Structure 1
Amino acid sequence: MRIAPVLIALCFLCVGVTGPVMADRREQTLLEYGSQCAREIGEIPPFDCNSGTEIPITVDGKPPRPEESPKYCDRPSLLVPEKETSEQCMPHSRILNLSRGATQISAYCRQNSPRKQPTSFFDEVVVVLHHAGNGKTCWFQSKPETKTDGIDTSRVPPPNEKKPPPGHIAAVEFWKTPAEVAAPKRNCISCHDAGPFILSPFIAQVWDKVPTDPLGKYSNIGTAFESQHVQVMSTPGNTCVGCHRIGTDQSCKFYLGFSTGTAAPGNNKVANSYPLSHWMPTNNNMSHAQWDAANVKSVHALLNCCKDPNLTVS
């Protein structure tokens, strides 16, 4: 479908700042960052990954056998959307909602390689800490484990914990520093460019276990993240932004196309067929024709904005 050029001139760009610039630009340690996040957002409690909800993997509607590790599946993870990897469909990852009140905490324990189950060993742990009132957000990612078959997650330490209980790993040994988390070109904020919690076909299966704040305040604190600004865009009457923001980074490059059927994430036939190919909006119960009538114009308007999101209306 060719969209009239006038749509390009109707892009509104909003810039979200990541918080006040701090006078002291010395790199924060993990404990300093963890303490700031706990103070301004809330404490992350210690947790066991196995207390979380397992995220299903199905192939043609059926779960794989215990010994199987399918490369393709119906609802793949999109953590590496531009690549085909066996990790997209690895079974036994888990999600935990550790929220209380306005303090929203989502913990994701990821399996990247097959293991005999049950196990307390995972390949990666990530935590998003967000305050639904003030919008402040913090990001934590585990260090890669090279000495054993994964990371022991029987007790994941709070990132501000100075001394662990006897026999347990210390926070500074478990978590990357904030500078390490913020350093990659494609980091947390580049993917979570529309909000702190991101949907995928994989996560959609356990979306009731994920805290959400799609239109609330959103900023990132900590010296490592102070230069990473969030940009969001809209067009008049756009159906997509009526539910959540649309960012100008990875949302433009991958997620907007993958979630609306205009790009295929390179997985199996079920994943690339309607309705799973159109996993936005959530709980899609429309026919394909109904979906197109409701959303195609809005999607193409945003895709045009992605070509030059700095265009604004005077």
Structure 2
Amino acid sequence: MKISAALFALCLVIASPLVASEREQTLLEYGEQCAKEIGEIPPFNCNDGTNIPITINGKPPARGDAPRRCDRPSLLHPTSEVEGQCLPYSKILNLSRGNTQISAYCRRNKLRDDRDPVYDEVVIVQHHSGNGKTCWFLSQSRAGTNGIDASRVPPPNEKSPPAGHTPAVEFWTTPARIAAVQPTCISCHDAGPFIFSPYIGQVWDKVPTDPWGKYSSIGPVFSSHRLNVISTPGNACIGCHRIGSEQSCAAYIGLSTGRLSAPGNNQLASSYPLNHWMPTANNMSHAQWDEANIKSVDALLSCCRDKAHKNPNCTFTPISPSKK
């Protein structure tokens, strides 16, 4: 009996680290890890952000209009039509300081006034340009049309908010649930923490950038995701930034070169030059663009199809990880 009890106790001792390692990281634990290794996210008011313009054939929609097609739709969901792709008054905030880069996107999925404190989604990308560590935060979904009071967005590691304000654990989604969303944050951001699109490019001066720096995601549910970038000899498309091998292949290469039409595109958005938004400062004629870039695009797409990595013209390179 004593031997059995001793063996049982030993099993508990051995099993305890395994149980602890499999326990889901809480929001507050993840927020604290990100604050410690990247930097603190301050509380903020979404209405302090900069409006991301919405236009239809170059003109803003009339007051009260809720267009479903526009010149530069949001590409937060790059392969499917969703609410809010062309709604006005979504906002972007740059909360960066020093090496701590923080981009906050406050999204309208329902038509509301410009100064309405209610939004439908809040997304944060938090990145350290020195060590490359990156965190992802997404607000909890709200059923119906009530939305989220974003007049004070709490830091994700805030244990006790000021009286009358929403606690972080009620505002933010847990890391495990964020990681379960498909395609994942990391799969879309497969070349770096911040993504250019015609939509966000209108306020690109309000977005931090780190196109060539170290880059990896922290937190148990994110850290195992390893990213590769692709290149070919003399490729014209890799001079300004990396090209990822996940959603870059599935969506962004095609969307940025006129091979695919973005959900929410109107006729103008699906026409040259708006449907060729790489390179970003494109002032070429269509014929000039094809001459300069089409072979490079074809080469990258060929690498995207090379799942076994056997094409001798394709180089697949892991992105430099964060310093431990």
* TM value normalised by structure 1: 0.89
Decide which of 28, 31, 36 is 1:31's aligned counterpart: 28
The aligned runs of 1:236-275 (5 Å cut-off) are 236-266=233-263, 267-275=265-273
Tell me which residue corresponds to 1:311.
310
Tell me which residue corresponds to 2:152.
155
Tell me which residue corresponds to 2:166.
169
- 1:84 Cα shift? 3.1
Decide which of 141, 144, 150 is 1:144's aligned counterpart: 141
Q: Which runs of 5+ in 2 are unaligned?
A: 1-19, 316-324
Moved more, 98-107 or 78-87: 78-87
The aligned runs of 1:1-314 (5 Å cut-off) are 24-146=21-143, 149-266=146-263, 267-309=265-307, 310-311=309-310, 313=312
- 1:204 Cα shift? 0.8
1:115, 1:75 → 2: CA distance?
19
- Residues 278-303 of structure 1, C-alpha deviations (whole Å, 9 max, x = no match): 11111212222222222111111000
- 1:87 Cα shift? 2.1
Tell me which residue corresponds to 1:15.
none
Moved more, 142-151 or 188-197: 142-151
1:42, 1:291 → 2: CA distance?
41
2:187, 2:82 → 1: CA distance?
20
Tell me which residue corresponds to 1:17.
none
- Residues 136-179 of structure 1, C-alpha deviations (whole Å, 9 max, x = no match): 00000000123761100000000011110111111011000110
- Residues 245-265 of structure 1, C-alpha deviations (whole Å, 9 max, x = no match): 111111111110000111222
What is the root-mean-square deviation in Å for CA atoms of aligned residues?
A: 1.6
Tell me which residue corresponds to 2:7.
none
1:51, 1:74 → 2: CA distance?
25
**Aligned residues of 1:71 and 1:85 also touching (Cα < 8 A):** no
Alignment: residue pair count = 292
**Aligned residues of 2:110 and 2:145 also touching (Cα < 8 A):** no
1:198, 1:274 → 2: CA distance?
21
Moved more, 289-298 or 186-195: 289-298
1:83, 1:295 → 2: CA distance?
27
**Aligned residues of 1:72 and 1:86 also touching (Cα < 8 A):** no
Q: Which runs of 5+ in 1 are unaligned?
A: 1-22
What one-letter code is carried by the residue in structure 1 that aligns with 2:146? D
**Aligned residues of 1:25 and 1:223 also touching (Cα < 8 A):** no
**Aligned residues of 1:157 and 1:170 also touching (Cα < 8 A):** yes
- 1:223 Cα shift? 0.5
1:199, 1:257 → 2: CA distance?
14
* TM value normalised by structure 2: 0.87
What one-letter code is carried by the residue in structure 2 that aligns with 1:82? T
